[in-house]
Amino acid sequence: MRNLASKAFGVWQFAFMTGLGSLGCAEDLDGQPESCSESDPGPAPIRRLTRVEYNNTVYQLLGDSSRPADAFPPDEEAGGFDNQAAVLVVSPLLAEHYMNAAEDLASAHAPTLVQALPSCLGSTTATNACDGDVEAFLRSFGTRAYRRPLTDDEILDYVDLFHQGTVLGDDLYSVSVGLEMVVQAMLQSPHFLYRVEFGLPESDGDVVALTSYEVASRLSYLLWNTMPDGALFEAAEADLLRTPEQIEIQARRMISTPRAREAVKNFHRQWLHLDDIEPHITASGKNLAVYPDYNDELPMLWRRETEAFLDYAVFEQDANLETLFTAPYTLMNAELAEFYGVTGPTGVEFVRVDLDPSKFAGFLTHAGLLALLAKPDRSSPIHRGKFVRETLFCQPPPPPPASIPEPPSVDESQTTREQFSQHSKDPSCQGCHQLMDPIGFGFEHFDGIGRYRETEWGQAIDASGELTVTDVDGPFDGVVDLAARLASSEQVKDCVAEQWFRFGYGRGPTEEDSCSVDMIQTAFAAADYDIKELIIALTQTPAFRTRHAVYPETP
Amino acid sequence: MSIFLRPRPRLSRRAVLHGLGGLAIGLPLLDAMLGKSAHADGPELPKRLIVMYTPNGAVASNFWPTDPENPTSSAILSPLGLPGVDDHRADLLVLKGVDMLSALSGPGDAHQKGTGHCLTGTELLPGDFAGDSGLSAGWAGGISIDQAVADHIGQDSLFRSLELGVAVQGASVRSRISYRGAGQPLPPENSPYTAYQRLFGDSLGDPMTIERRSARRHAVLDAVADQHTRLSAQLGREDREKLLNHLLGIEAIRARLDQSVLEFGGECLALDQGEPIDPDLVANMPSIGNLQMDLLAMALACDITRVGTLMWTNSTANHVLSFVDPAIVEGHHSLAHKGDEDTVKMHQNTLISTWYATQLAGLITRLKGIPEGAGSVFDNTVILWTNEQSKGNNHDSRGMPYLLAGSAGGYFSTGRTVEFEGDVGHNRLLVSLANSMGIETNEFGNPEFGTGPLPGLTV
């Protein structure tokens, strides 16, 4: 098996120590895992809802589309994603935001929710009939809020809170205030804000199977970034989310829905830094003397192009990974087509446009990414090369020296390539920059706003590049050539699987996960690297279906 | 008119102060307070700590004063010595030669370490925040000085501390300076409108409404806190800690409900923030910064907090600060990386630091405008201006551009530059700040990088 995380680091350590060598010795020496059914599930830390998940969840739960979490402090980002359990914490500030959001949501939706308490309406005092309605409400609404049935004790506590609330309104007896307070408390409950898991109580040993309700939440937050729907709750209630087959049936149902497309978009936005395109480019702007066609509306269109392309390829074309790199088409609307100087699209909708396959390849030649990996007045081979290394090969470059020498001055009459070539001649820069710049030079046909060019400052573009310390080493010419190489790389495929692991499980792979990683990679390969099949494979592993037993006494 | 904060069950120090009816408190009394805990007996003026953070280093040759007698004798610091209300020469203490030695240790890249260490003085936790060149780190590995001080002097205030930001982007170790403890970052609030609502909103409205809302919140938060307590007892160690930290936030809200609402009066006034503008737009930074500083000053005037941090953007921030000068068209971080021989860019970097100094001058002027005792709130305050590194183009952590403003009630001897030789860890500066706030300690952060206060700073 290929142990991704450790291999990537192995390669780098090797490269760094020898100042660039062959990949040779980095092959994994681990043996095959014994048996996956007995394998370790890896860590499963408690997961706090992200802002995206919070918004989606209150939309599902209450039909609320006000996106209250947009006002929360931003989610902590680690490992390239905003949903990594280890760093998601609740500061006092966020706790206040949770309270305010809960109060606003409860007050906005109480008039609707109170219809579920017919025996309470018009009442001026507590009655048994009203309590019965409240209990029924708690059993239905509470199950959806907690994503599992409430215990009897929890029901009693909430009925008690309801009673307290009925006398804290402006009127002597207010059903609505009682209900609001129940909803407020539920929306601030750790059982709502976190995904709490204990596994099956009857399980023995350290590794326990998850309950069907817990699996329903894992499925819905992985595939949809939101709470379970009615069908998942039904399956959970019938305890039909226990076997890999049962889970797969649900996963296949779910992946063909629009919500899955949103979740995949969320992944791509983070993995490929598409969510940086607008804030980062507009923050620095582009130099209008060099790029007179640039305006601050473009970054939004650029981001949407890449999102639309990936969505179309994965869901309309059942694309595999290779296609994402090499597809000779993209999606544009009229405004973007004008920027690119392409004919075809006439409206605001993004539609497919076929491109010259000798110049363009998949998302790698999209203007947004290339403009993001550029300076305000020129391209940036360093950033582009670093992106390929770090994001596509999962090979973070080695550490720079403790004190970086001062960068040399640049001569603006030279091509970007010449300037950067000079820059990496410095022996102390060379080591790292040889790992990034030669890849980045392959993108030189694309300027600082991502448009194709044949010349720079009147000189012909040289887009020859070289891949080193990868499994697809060798010289190449231009992005189309590079894209084909990336599409054939095992390392890139492993990297994509690893990124999905992080996004899907809210954590990075550990030594314990070798079996799960292997299962994912094997299934991905067996499906000819179909992205949707990779996501389905994520639901079949020990890391997804089981967890370590929870020991409260553990020091 | 005067300020009325009426906590139950006991009177705040500020109320005591006003009860004295403007009694002039002479220096001997101040001297008597030195080195004592804020809980010492007798009338005393509350001390306050403010930290102002700006990123990406400073151009050293334009930062350090040329005249040792005049702390504002440099291009960057000159706005702090303008004639008139902004002449703060006598109130500054420039600290030359202090090194962030901790930044040479532990996980993280230079910016991550510099930011996470700047107020904690200790190594970062290991973790997955991607740094430069494949380095990575987690959150800071210890409590920050502002929070340690808040533990000491902030417990009786409505808000034990206040974290404000101006266009702070990101949510990683590069964008946080304030920590309740290892791995417990406190995010800054970027919106002066949200912050105002948070600080003063509960005090606006008629008393009946406030009373009822408070009773409802109590009941709800009691239920929520019980759930946190019960659940955390069932969890493993790391998850339990996470939930207990969350619970601290809930308890802070509950504690405020138990205290009181604030009454406006005297220097404590409702703020008119004008028509809201977008706090995320870089071009709005000057206006948003002013609103945040207004709010910080008002929070001190109303004595609802005694500890504050103000972050101007974040480390590696690439905001294009063209409002400083129209010629600036490159992001701040990119500019900061230019070589020393690039005089145009060095000039632009200097202009940016100078603009930040102007903001600091404005903050000092605001605090001087709030009367307290025989003087002003500023007399009992110390402001630290910090950065995550000294030099942008080589990530140097030696010779940090540290500046103190205010004497913290006569503790620091200001109006000069103090120069240090050899390895002097910034932990010692953090110790000095702790001491100035009445915390008797010789260590802060990891003592490996220095113990004891910086010598020669006190009166």
- Cα gap B350→B61, rounded to integer Å: 9
Helix (H, G, I), strand (E, B) or coil at A8: helix
Segment A34-77, tens digit of pLDDT: 455 557 899 999 999 999 999 999 999 999 999 999 989 989 88
Q: Do B394 and A406 touch (CB under 8 A)?
A: yes
With beta carbons under 8 A apart, name residues in chain B contacting A185. 220, 223-224, 227
Mean pLDDT, residues A343-369? 96
Nearest CA in chain B to A555: B237
Q: What is the pLDDT of residue A555?
A: 46
Amino acid at B399: G
Query: What's the gap in Å between the CA of A404 and the closest CA on chain B?
Result: 5
Q: Do B393 and A406 touch (CB under 8 A)?
A: yes
Q: Quickly state the pLDDT bin for B16 (edges 50, 70, 90).
A: very low
Query: What's the gap in Å between the CA of B161 and the closest CA on chain A?
Result: 11
Q: Do B186 and A375 touch (CB under 8 A)?
A: no
Instruction: Specify the residue for token string 């929520």.
Output: B224
Share of residues in chain A with pLDDT > 70 (%): 88
Which one of B56, B133, B193, B394 makes the best mutation probe of the A interface by having the most chain A beta carbons within 10 Å?
B133
Instruction: Specify the residue for token string 């550490």.
Output: A399
Give this complex's ipTM.
0.88
Token pair for B138: 């987690």
Q: Do A76 and B171 touch (CB under 8 A)?
A: yes
Q: Which residues pair with A446 in a beta bridge?
A: A452
Segment B292-308, tens digit of pLDDT: 999 999 999 999 999 99
Which residues touch B431 (CB under 8 Å, ≥6 apart)?
Answer: B441, B442, B443, B444, B450, B451, B452, B453, B454
Q: What is the pLDDT of residue B202?
A: 80
Q: What is the pLDDT of residue A41?
A: 92
Q: Do A508 and B128 touch (CB under 8 A)?
A: yes
- Check pLDDT > 50 for residue A369: yes
- B21 or B283, greater pLDDT: B283
B311, B384 in Cβ contact below 8 A? no
- Check pLDDT > 90 for residue B280: no
Q: Do A400 and B132 touch (CB under 8 A)?
A: yes
The DSSP letter of residue A174 is: -
Query: What's the gap in Å between the CA of B127 and the closest CA on chain A?
Result: 8
Segment B47-73, tens digit of pLDDT: 999 999 999 999 999 999 999 899 999
Segment A87-133, tens digit of pLDDT: 898 999 999 999 999 999 999 999 999 999 999 998 888 899 999 99
- Cα gap A264→B429, rounded to integer Å: 48
Phi-psi region of B415 (alpha: psi -120 to 50; beta: other; left: phi over 0): left
Q: Quickly state the pLDDT bin for A10 (edges 50, 70, 90).
A: very low
Nearest CA in chain A to B232: A552
Q: Do B185 and A198 touch (CB under 8 A)?
A: no
With beta carbons under 8 A apart, name residues in chain B contacting A405. 394
With beta carbons under 8 A apart, name residues in chain A contacting B228. 190
Q: Do B220 and A279 touch (CB under 8 A)?
A: no
Segment A394-413, tens digit of pLDDT: 987 665 554 555 444 455 67
Q: Do A403 and B243 touch (CB under 8 A)?
A: no
Q: Quickly state the pLDDT bin for B392 (edges 50, 70, 90).
A: confident
With beta carbons under 8 A apart, name residues in chain B contacting A170. 212
Segment B410-435, tens digit of pLDDT: 999 999 999 999 999 999 999 999 99
B384, B374 in Cβ contact below 8 A? no
B95, B429 in Cβ contact below 8 A? yes
- Check pLDDT > 50 for residue A276: yes
Q: Do A432 and B337 touch (CB under 8 A)?
A: no
Q: How many CB pairs under 8 A join A and B?
A: 197
With beta carbons under 8 A apart, name residues in chain B contacting A400. 132-133
- Check pLDDT > 90 for residue B359: yes
Q: Report the residue from B127, B215, B395 with minimal CB separation from A87.
A: B127
Q: Dihedral through CA B302, CA B306, CA B307, CA B313, nearest 10? A: 20
Token pair for B82: 């303008």
- Check pLDDT > 60 for residue B7: no
- Cα gap A490→A471, rounded to integer Å: 7
Q: Do B127 and A45 touch (CB under 8 A)?
A: no
Q: What is the pLDDT of residue A30?
A: 43
With beta carbons under 8 A apart, name residues in chain A contacting B343. none
Q: How far is CA B444 from CA B116, B121, B145, B427, B429, in A?
A: 14, 7, 8, 6, 9
Nearest CA in chain A to B181: A91
- Cα gap B330→B345, rounded to integer Å: 9
Nearest CA in chain A to B189: A73
Nearest CA in chain B to A188: B224
Segment A197-246, tens digit of pLDDT: 999 987 778 899 999 999 999 999 999 999 999 999 999 999 999 999 99
Q: Do A398 and B134 touch (CB under 8 A)?
A: yes
Q: Report the residue from B220, B252, B318 with minimal CB separation from A283.
A: B318
With beta carbons under 8 A apart, name residues in chain A contacting B128. 78-79, 84, 86-87, 508
Q: Do A89 and B184 touch (CB under 8 A)?
A: yes
- Cα gap B364→B362, rounded to integer Å: 5
Report long-range pairs for B216-220 (Cβ below 8 Å, ≥24 apart).
B216/A165, B216/A168, B216/A177, B216/A181, B217/A99, B217/B253, B217/B254, B217/B257, B218/B254, B218/B257, B219/A161, B219/A164, B219/A165, B219/A168, B219/A181, B220/A102, B220/A161, B220/A181, B220/A184, B220/A185, B220/A188
With beta carbons under 8 A apart, name residues in chain A contacting B240. 552
With the C-alpha atoms ordered A523, A525, A527, A530, is the resulting torsion angle positive or negative? positive
Q: Report the residue from B139, B187, B240 with minimal CB separation from A93.
A: B187
Q: What is the pLDDT of residue A449?
A: 96
First to last CA, chain B: 34
Burial-class residue A446 by CB neighbours within 10 Å (0-12, 13-18, 19+): buried
- Least confident interval from A76-90, A151-165, A224-238: A76-90
Q: What is the pLDDT of residue A33?
A: 43
Q: Do A164 and B219 touch (CB under 8 A)?
A: yes
Query: What's the gap in Å between the CA of B395 and the closest CA on chain A?
Result: 7
Query: What's the gap in Å between the CA of B117 and the closest CA on chain A?
Result: 16
- A451 or B1, greater pLDDT: A451
Q: Which H/E stretch holds residue A162?
A: helix A152-166
With beta carbons under 8 A apart, name residues in chain B contacting A89. 183-185, 242, 245-246
- Check pLDDT > 60 for residue B4: no
Q: Quickly state the pLDDT bin for A424 (edges 50, 70, 90).
A: low
- Check pLDDT > 90 for residue A26: no
Mean pLDDT, residues B365-387? 95
Mean pLDDT of chain A: 88
Query: What's the gap in Å between the CA of B413 and the closest CA on chain A?
Result: 35
How far does CA A511 lie from the centroid of its chain?
22
Mean pLDDT, residues B376-389? 96
Q: How far is CA A101 from CA A51, A58, A122, in A?
A: 12, 10, 28
Q: What is the pTM of this model?
A: 0.84
Segment A306-335, tens digit of pLDDT: 999 999 999 999 999 999 999 999 999 999
Mean pLDDT, residues B251-264? 82
Token pair for A102: 């809960």
Which one of A13, A87, A193 makes the best mutation probe of the B interface by having the most chain B beta carbons within 10 Å?
A87
- Check pLDDT > 60 for residue A289: yes
Instruction: Specify the residue for token string 């500023």.
Output: B378
Q: Report the residue from A82, A90, A397 with minimal CB separation from B246.
A: A90
B320, A285 in Cβ contact below 8 A? yes
Q: Do A287 and B138 touch (CB under 8 A)?
A: no
- Check pLDDT > 70 for residue B20: no
Mean pLDDT, residues A188-202? 94
- Check pLDDT > 90 for residue A421: no
Segment B76-94, tens digit of pLDDT: 999 999 998 889 999 999 9
B55, B311 in Cβ contact below 8 A? no
Q: Report the residue from A80, A375, A551 with minimal CB separation from B130.
A: A80
B425, B101 in Cβ contact below 8 A? yes
Token pair for A47: 């997961």
Q: What is the pLDDT of residue A411?
A: 56
With beta carbons under 8 A apart, name residues in chain B contacting A419. none
Q: Report the residue from A92, A96, A555 with minimal CB separation from B248.
A: A92
With beta carbons under 8 A apart, name residues in chain B contacting A408. 339
